[in-house]
Amino acid sequence: MIDAAVAARVGHIVKLSAMGPATRLNPLAWHMEIEAHLSCQPVASTALRPSAFADILLRRAGGQVSAGSWTGAAGEGHVNFIDTRDIAKAARVALLEDVHPESQRAYHLTGPRAWTMRQIAEELSNLLGRPVVYINRSLDDERAALLAGGLTPFVADLLVGLDQMFRESVLGETTSTVEELTGEPPGTLSQCLAENIESFESRLDGGALARSSASAPRLVSRGKAHPLVRNPKSQAPAWRARDRPYAKCERRNAASRRSTFVLREITRL
């Protein structure tokens, strides 16, 4: 994809990458390899390096918490989760920037603070009105449990690799980059959890929500009050934190010599 963009003589490539050190663990290792290839090309480039997606937490913890148990191997490591809407805002700025033809930039994008899983469990307890406990396992035990649950070794290794990075606080860094780029502070994890609290609620009768949508409380989300969304298909905001765009390449301004390719490799775990 990068080679095709260079061959088409585009002026600027923006790659959605990942924050983290040199590592053999995927998906970081994949991003490092792609960034290394991009850096050798005769084209201006910007790497967006977000910390952990809040989507990961919603997807991995939501089903477990709603079923009454939350386990993992993150220990007491600190993780900074970022709302994907803030990544999108930063990407828009990067795409519209005037850059030097040989420019090579990298932006480290994070939320406003880092959390331990125990702290997140306490936050969920407050939002749900019932105890939520994070049960820590060893990395080997977590991998065995994931395999026993039906996951392939490939996916199990990815998830255990993420927990290893969480355990070691690899993604615990906090930066001011989102606010500097967009002029707005990044959304908090508390806001994201509140907006998507239905993902964590106990489910009854084959999936029905324990609380009635008619009695949904009103929460403040990114400065606007709205009831909790119960029917994502009919009432979901234009961009929810759990939305998952497929990897694709969008060519902007095809008639222009300064056209830009957006490279998005969001892995669906």
Q: Give domain status of residue 269, yes or no.
A: no
Task: Please report the pLDDT score of residue 29 as a whole number.
Answer: 85
Which DSSP state fits 115? Answer: B
H/E stretch holding 49 reads strand 44-50
The pair of three-digit structure tokens given for residue 129, joined into one six-digit string: 């009105």
**Pairing relation of β-strands 52-53 and 81-82?**
parallel
Q: Give domain status of residue 223, yes or no.
A: yes
Amino acid at residue number 267: T
Cβ–Cβ < 8 Å for 54, 110? no
Question: Which residues have a Cβ under 8 Å from the Cβ of 3 and sit 6 or more positions away?
Answer: 41
Q: Number of folded domains in the chain?
A: 1
The pair of three-digit structure tokens given for residue 247, joined into one six-digit string: 């990897």
Task: Please report the pLDDT score of residue 201 as a whole number.
Answer: 87
Going residue by residue through the chain, which has 269 residues, state the pLDDT in tens, using 9 for 90 and above: 889 998 899 989 999 998 988 888 888 888 999 999 998 899 999 999 999 999 888 988 998 998 888 999 999 999 999 999 999 999 999 999 888 888 899 999 999 999 999 999 999 999 999 999 999 999 999 999 999 999 999 999 999 999 999 999 999 999 999 999 999 999 999 999 999 999 898 754 344 344 433 333 333 445 443 333 333 333 333 333 333 332 333 333 332 333 333 333 333 33
Domain that holds residue 179: 2-264
Q: What angle do CA 143, 144, 148 make, to 5 degrees?
A: 120
pTM: predicted TM-score of the whole model, two decimal places: 0.73
Q: Give domain status of residue 136, yes or no.
A: yes
| Residues 159/163/166/167 CA torsion (nearest 10 deg) | -170
Helix axes 139-148, 153-167, angle to 10 degrees: 150
Cβ–Cβ < 8 Å for 207, 239? no
- Domain CATH for 132: 3.40.50.720
